[in-house]
Amino acid sequence: MAGGGFGAAGGGGDFEAKITPLVIISCILASTGGLMFGYDVGISGGVTSMPEFLRKFFPSVYRKNQQPGLESNYCKYDNQGLQLFTSSLYLAALVATFVAMYTTKSLGRKLTMLMAGVFFLIGSVLNFAAQNLAMLIIGRILLGCGVGFANQAVPLFLSEVAPTRIRGALNILFQLMCTIGILVANMINYGTDKIKGNYGWRISLGLAGVPALMLTLGSLIVVDTPNSLIARGKLEEGKAILKRIRGVDNVEPEFLEIVEASRVANEVKSPFKNLLKRRNRPQLIIAIFMQIFQQFTGINAIMFYAPVLFKTLGFKSDASLYSSAITGAVNVLSTMVSIYFVDRAGRRVLLLEAGVQMFLSQLVVAIVMGLKVKDNVNNLGHGLGILVLVFVCIFVASFAWSWGPLGWLIPSETFPLEARSAGQSVAVFFNMLFTFIIAQAFLSMLCHMKFAIFLFFAAWILVMTIFVIFLLPETKGVPIEEMTERVWKQHWFWKRYMDEVEVDPKAKADA
């Protein structure tokens, strides 16, 4: 999984590889799963701030917003039903990911992505046509199934297809598409909010079918990964695909390494029991905590509810949607920074730098809101409102080149093949679980904790930065099937869990 001219070096031996058009096209098509996910994150926050949507489905929230002074500035949107509209998707996704674990293993990454697109397509049609809250929530649940399947299959697909040297950059295409989806959703919300009548929100929700259709068609075009084909016993087809995506005829060393990894993987009868073995504990702990920490940066609270949050700060409806569009644009541009630096500077450098930047940003926002935004008085003013927007953008930028993409990249590249599908399922499960918790609780937390909610997230950012310093190893430039030997066995703390790992027979023969 390494490269010739522009490829990456392997570990025990260099794998020949070119950066082929097939790899780039396959990765772009597959990463539209991220576009689908990001569009939903961006669209739900904008729709929940639209008066016509609130009047139809959440009349109590609508009334609170029409009568100034009736509720605290922090509590105008505190409604469990409204939060359930956003969070039900993630509850469905965390259940769907376990079904997706079996489909990615037995049917392949390609077919799982196809199923994700179909689920999302049906869900977007239901949301567009929704006549009552029940129909809306059922549509959200189907969207959640699509997200669960896509978030399981796409990161694995990207990690397995990409040559080692640019694995980080290609994997981050998933996160880049997420950020583009959020930005597009924000711009659509800004436009549909101006439509007179009772259907602007329908257009916003219905257009989710566009990225769903892109993923559905894309999954029909892409090839499945060599790792997946070989693991399912299709050795010749897997070898042929490996030659096509690497652009060279000499793929024997990489092919044999994948075959050996597949042999070990196929001996595993109980994936989750295997995942709990001592030798897989470091990867499992890292995968789980990467997901928990990603959500407790507070990013999804800001992205889900950006228009609502900016309205709380005193921005008008137009201005709040416009401000969230600005943060969406910052998100996209900053993810491109990550694509450039992830395989140069490495994963740890990006996470550590961002930890400092995010901590300071949350601190400034908390101080300004604590001093100026009271329950029934908002003295923020135009100047300080812009200051808060600037620091929210600084926070979003640092997240977008660190915890955003790396929260998905690191778990997808660190598990051995026999534990990869199960490990990715656990990672997606915890991501969706804590996304659900934040989505369901944020507006209530904002109501009760007020400005201190930003101090709450700042404290978590401090904890996760310490975690990175001591417990997260660097995986830059390491072939995906050589992580155990070159990363985990060398780490000062995690190497104690590697005592039951067999010595690589190839290495033993070379000795």
Q: How far apart are CA 316 and CA 322, in angstroms?
A: 10
Burial 329-355 (b: 16+ CB within 10 A, else e): bbbbebbeebbebbbeeebbbbbebbb
- pLDDT the model gives residue 505: 43
Instruction: Give the number of other CB atoms < 10 A from CB of residue 441.
Output: 16
Do residues 424 and 412 make contact, with C-beta atoms less than 8 angstroms apart?
yes
- Rounded alpha-carbon distances, angstroms, from residue 432 to 82, 192, 411, 436, 437: 18, 28, 15, 6, 8
Q: How far apart are CA 352 and CA 350, in angstroms?
A: 6
Q: How far apart are CA 233 and CA 161, in angstroms?
A: 18
Do residues 341 and 195 make contact, with C-beta atoms less than 8 angstroms apart?
no
The ranges assigned to domains in the chain are 21-224+268-496
- pLDDT the model gives residue 59: 87
| Residue whose C-alpha is closest to residue 264's, from 97, 412, 477, 484 | 484
| Residue whose C-alpha is closest to residue 464's, from 268, 298, 219, 260 | 298
Question: pLDDT tens digit string along 52-75?
Answer: 888 888 888 888 777 766 566 667
State the Cα angle at 425 between 419 and 428, rounded to 5°.
135
Do residues 396 and 415 make contact, with C-beta atoms less than 8 angstroms apart?
no
Beta strands in 1-77 (DSSP E): none
Q: Taking the mean position of all CA atoms in its chain, how far away is CA 32?
A: 12
Beta strands in 315-417 (DSSP E): none
| Residue whose C-alpha is closest to residue 77's, from 97, 51, 38, 108 | 51
CA 67, 69, 71, 74: dihedral to nearest 10 degrees? 110
- pLDDT the model gives residue 502: 57
Pick the CATH number of 21-224+268-496 from 2.60.120.330, 1.20.1250.20, 3.30.70.1230, 1.10.10.10: 1.20.1250.20
> Which residue shows structure tokens 């990869």?
420
Query: In the chain, which residues have pLDDT < 50?
Result: 1-13, 504-511
> Which residue shows structure tokens 């923020």?
380
Which two tokens mark 96? Answer: 């769907």
Q: How far apart are CA 111 and CA 138, in angstroms?
A: 24
Question: pLDDT tens digit string along 169-184?
Answer: 888 888 899 889 988 9
Sign of CA dihedral 473, 475, 476, 477: positive
**Rounded mean pLDDT of the chain?**
84
- pLDDT the model gives residue 240: 92
3-state SS assignment for residue 378? strand
Residue at 306: amino acid letter: A
Instruction: Please return the burial class of 65, using the count of CB atoms within 10 Å of its CB with bins 0-12, 13-18 and 19+.
Output: buried
- pLDDT the model gives residue 49: 77
